[in-house]
């Protein structure tokens, strides 16, 4: 059995890849939308800044038992790579996963990575197969992210009340919201924030690489969201005295399945924290989502269990814990 990289434009191979991925993830979705085929095609676009290689066991086999996706950041040398790894539910406990994982590690090593991080999701009360599998394959827990859900629309008046409470702390700032694109004159400021968030997101036990962003990185990411078929709500905090964007928050919704939205990154630059900007930007995005007319009934967000500040904001908004995501890591 060989785990080989497939071409996202090879429809037959892509469909085989997606079928297995979908069967494996569906059983773990716990009331949210999974990735759509268009989204995985976008995530593996070879022209983008962040690319996932799609890997398939025996690409000629009409029923491949294993699929994986390995993040390969094209723009610079990285030491850590992230991956998805799934054995078809119909083919589990036959040793396939062990053989394929060794091959995934070999792909990562060949590419020069020193650390592999594999995601696994489970409802809070479960103890999934990945615990025993990952331990046997030499992985340790690098981080545990907790999923929280917010029911939409929010109760009447709730967002306004939070906005009024938090705005008192943010007199030096203005919150501005955009759909889909950062204004051209703010791309460099957004790039600086993008670099910082990578270094500043708390993890319990993970090495993270520095990233170098520029205006083109930001535009690549935004066009990638469009290619995915998702709508992007973008709020920023502008520091009035210096006329600088010092914080951002992103929320996205699939046009195909608007019922379930996702909170993506939120970041306040060092030196501007403690002004409730994270909460205010989230409120601004939620209001924009409500005003969009999309039939969204839930917003999900994932945070490291160690990220106490972001979790406090999410709790204040009314989020409820539903699931955990394990980040298994292995030094290669
Ligand atoms: C975790 C997963 C990849 C295992 O794949 P698999 O092909 O069934 O694994 P293998 O048959 O190679 O099992 C290797 C070892 O893992 C452990 N293991 C695998 N499934 C297990 C289960 N259901 N219960 C307990 N131990 C299990 C065992 O130690 C097993 O060795 P053994 O069969 O000699 O006892 C598969 O269940 C899966 O795709 N899960 C959903 C996606 C996921 O969690 N991915 C992240 C993996 S880190």
Tell me the per-residue pLDDT of 17-73, one tens digit each, with 9 for 90 and over.
999 999 998 877 677 778 899 999 999 988 776 688 999 998 677 788 999 999 987
Percent of the chain whose predicted confidence (pLDDT) is above 70: 97
Does 122 reside within a domain?
A: no
Is position 96 within any domain? yes
Q: Is 118 in the pocket of ligand 1 (CB under 6 A)?
A: yes
- Mutation pick for ligand 1 pocket among 30, 129, 328, 330 (CB with most ligand atoms within 8 Å): 129
Report the domain count for the chain. 2
**In degrees rounded to 5, what are phi and psi of residue 228?**
-70, -20
Which residue lies with its CA nearest to atom 16 of ligand 1? 133
Q: Looking up tokens 């009447």, which residue turns up?
A: 156
Q: Is the domain of 158 the same as that of 83?
A: no
**105 CA distance to ligand 1 middle (Å):** 16
The answer to whether the CB of 178 falls within 8 A of the CB of 231 is no
pTM of the model: 0.90
Place of tokens 């889909």: 180
Give the range among 14-23, 33-42, 84-93, 146-155 with minimum mean pLDDT.
33-42
Residues 183 and 304 placed together within one structural domain of the fold: yes
Is residue 138 situated within a structural domain? no
Domain co-membership, 169 together with 315: yes
If asked whether residues 194 and 275 sit together in one domain, one would say: yes
Asked whether residue 130 is assigned to any structural domain, the reply reads: no
Whether residue 100 is found in the same domain as residue 207: no
How far, in Å, from the CA of 65 to the mean position of ligand 1?
Answer: 13
Residues linked to residue 4 through DSSP beta bridges, in sequence order: 56
Q: Would you say the CB of residue 129 lies under 6 angstroms from ligand 1?
A: yes
- Average confidence (pLDDT) over 289-303: 96
DSSP state of 214: -
Domain around 227: 149-324
Is there an atom of ligand 1 within 6 Å of 117 CB? no
Do 169 and 86 share a structural domain?
A: no
Q: Mean pLDDT of all residues in the chain?
A: 92
**Residues 57 and 11 occupy one common structural domain:** yes
* Cα 135 to ligand 1 centroid, rounded to whole Å: 10
- Regarding whether 102 and 195 lie in a shared domain, the answer is no
Residues 176 and 253 in one domain: yes
The DSSP string of 224-249 is HHHHHTEEEEEEEEEETTTTEEEEEE
The answer to the question of residue 63 being in a domain is yes
The residue whose CA has the least distance to atom 20 of ligand 1 is 129
Same domain, 81 and 162: no
CA of 310 to the centre of ligand 1 (A): 33
Q: Is the pLDDT of residue 124 over 70?
A: no
The reported pLDDT for the residue numbered 75 is 57
Q: Which of the pair, 288 or 306, is modelled with greater confidence?
A: 288
Mean pLDDT of all residues in 305-316: 94
Examine the domain organization and report whether 77 and 206 are in the same domain. Answer: no
Give residue 95 CA to ligand 1 midpoint distance, Å: 8
18: buried, middle or exposed (CB in 10 Å: 19+, 13-18, 0-12)? middle
Here the CATH number for the domain that contains residue 233 is 3.40.630.30
Among 113, 136, 171, identify where a domain stops.
113
Ligand 1: nearest atom to the Cα of 122? 44
Distances (CA, A) of 18 to 28, 120, 224, 326: 16, 17, 19, 22
Q: Cα separation of 321 and 33, whole Å? A: 17
Q: Do 179 and 232 meet the contact criterion of CB atoms below 8 Å apart?
A: yes
Of 113, 130, 165, the domain-final residue:
113
Using a 6 Å cutoff on CB, does residue 24 contact ligand 1?
yes
Residue 119 lies in a domain: no
Query: Is the CB of 309 within 6 Å of ligand 1?
Result: no
Structure tokens at 271: 């030196």
Mean pLDDT of 118-141: 90
The torsion defined by the Cα of 206, 209, 214 and 219, in degrees rounded to 10, comes to: -50
User: Is the Cβ atom of 133 under 6 angstroms away from ligand 1?
Assistant: yes
Instruction: Specify if 125 maps to a domain.
Output: no
Ligand 1 atom at shortest distance from the alpha carbon of 134:
48
User: Does a structural domain hold residue 229?
Assistant: yes
Strands 298-304 and 260-268: parallel
Asked if residue 171 and residue 96 are part of one domain, the reply reads: no
Half-sphere exposure of 246 (CA within 13 A, CB side): 20
């Amino acid at each position: 059995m060989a785990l080989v990289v497939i071409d996202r434009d090879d429809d037959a191979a892509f469909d085989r890849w997606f079928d297995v991925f979908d069967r494996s993830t569906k059983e773990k979705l716990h009331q949210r939308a999974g990735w759509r085929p268009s989204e995985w095609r976008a995530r593996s676009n070879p022209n983008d800044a962040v690319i996932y290689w799609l890997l398939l066991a025996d690409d000629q086999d009409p029923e491949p038992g294993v699929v994986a996706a390995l993040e390969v950041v094209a723009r610079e040398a990285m030491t850590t790579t992230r991956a998805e790894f799934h054995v078809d539910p119909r083919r589990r406990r036959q040793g396939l996963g062990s053989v394929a994982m060794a091959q995934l590690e070999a792909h990562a090593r060949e590419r020069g990575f020193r650390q592999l991080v594999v995601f696994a999701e489970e409802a809070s009360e479960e103890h999934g197969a990945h615990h025993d599998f990952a331990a046997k394959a030499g992985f340790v827990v690098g981080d545990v992210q907790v999923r929280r859900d917010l029911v939409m629309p929010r109760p009447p008046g709730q967002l306004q009340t939070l906005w009024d409470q938090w705005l008192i702390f943010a007199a030096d700032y203005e919150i501005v919201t955009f759909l889909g694109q950062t204004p051209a004159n703010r791309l460099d400021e957004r790039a600086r924030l993008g670099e910082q968030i990578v270094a500043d997101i708390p993890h319990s036990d993970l090495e993270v690489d520095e990233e170098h962003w520029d205006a083109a990185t930001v535009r690549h990411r935004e066009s990638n969201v469009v290619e995915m078929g998702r709508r992007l709500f973008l709020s920023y905090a502008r520091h009035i005295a210096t006329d600088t964007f010092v914080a951002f928050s992103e929320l996205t919704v699939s046009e195909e399945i608007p019922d379930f939205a996702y909170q993506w990154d939120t970041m306040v630059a060092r030196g501007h924290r403690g002004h409730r900007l994270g909460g205010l930007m989230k409120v601004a995005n939620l209001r924009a989502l409500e005003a969009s007319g999309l039939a969204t009934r839930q917003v999900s967000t994932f945070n490291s269990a160690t990220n106490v500040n972001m979790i406090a904001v999410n709790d204040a908004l009314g989020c409820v814990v539903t699931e955990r995501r394990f980040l298994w890591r292995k030094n290669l």
